Structures are given as C-alpha cells and as structure tokens.
C-alpha cells in the first residue's frame, strides 16, 4: 500500500489517503453455512450438477468449474468464520452453458419452483438471461446465460 498524503483533521487527528495496489484475479471459493449438509450436498449435486468433494479432516465442498463452495454446518463452523454465519443469507449467481430454456425444464422436472424468470439482468461482463430459485436453506440462486 502506498501512502499518498496526510492532512489534518479536527482536533489534530490525521487522515491518510491510501492507494491500494492489490489486484484480485478471481474467486477461489466461498462458504455457505447450512442447516443440513447431506440435504445441501444432494440438492446442489442433483439440481446443479456440482461435484461433491471431501477434503481436510472430512470437510465437504461443492465443486464446479475452477471454483468451489465450502460448506459449514450451522453451529459447527470452521474458524475463522463470517461474523454472523447464517443459513439462507446468500444470493449467488452462476453462469451455465446449458440454455436457460432447458434450465427451466430441468428445474420443473426436479420439482424446483422458480422464484423469477427468465428475465434479463446485468452480469459481471455483460447482459445475462437468468432464472431464480431457492436451495434447501432458502439461499437465492440465480442461474444465467450471457446474451
């Protein structure tokens, strides 16, 4: 980090403007706190086609592409952890190679009700067509195709 300047603030305090030189390349993993590990693993594997991975001392994760979702059982989180690890508090968007029309059919076949969609939204790199639904803990999941 590079210190740019220092200027006096009230009561003799100093403030420092900082130029951050850190560059983030991509997301490696995120953590979901869940109420039922087995139910969560089954849902993400069955509905989203994610692969179950066991690592470390028997911890479990969901792998897709070059990312993964680590899972913590509520009340048995791994330290360090989020300040308030809470099942159902996530809102995640996944990009799929499967066309949205087919996603809608597959979700219906799996008896997963749509929350919304298909609708057009803006993703990280452009316009997307999305469908929204919920996982067993009521996390909001968005699955999308770039337009």
**Catalytic residue numbers, as ranges:** 142
Query: In 3D, which of 14, 145, 138, 13 has the Cα closest to residue 87?
Result: 138
Rounded CA gap, 33 and 113, in Å? 22
Rounded CA gap, 51 and 92, in Å? 17
Rounded CA gap, 8 and 26, in Å? 37
| Burial (CB count within 10 angstroms: exposed 0-12, middle 13-18, buried 19+), residue 18 | exposed
- Residue at token pair 């316009």: 127
């Amino acid at each position: 980090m590079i210190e740019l300047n220092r200027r006096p603030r009230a009561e003799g305090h100093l403030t420092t403007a900082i130029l951050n030189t850190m560059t983030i390349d991509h997301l490696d993993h995120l953590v979901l706190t869940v109420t039922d590990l087995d139910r969560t693993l089954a849902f993400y594997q069955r509905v989203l086609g994610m692969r179950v991975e066991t690592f470390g001392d028997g911890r479990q994760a969901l792998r897709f592409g070059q990312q993964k979702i680590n899972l913590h059982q509520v009340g048995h989180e791994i330290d360090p952890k989020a300040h308030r690890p809470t099942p159902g508090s996530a809102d995640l968007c996944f990009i799929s190679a499967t066309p949205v029309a087919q996603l809608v059919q597959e979700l219906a076949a799996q008896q997963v009700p749509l929350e919304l969609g298909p609708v057009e939204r803006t993703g990280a790199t452009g316009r997307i067509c999305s469908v929204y639904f919920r996982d067993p803990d009521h996390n909001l999941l968005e699955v999308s195709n770039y337009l």
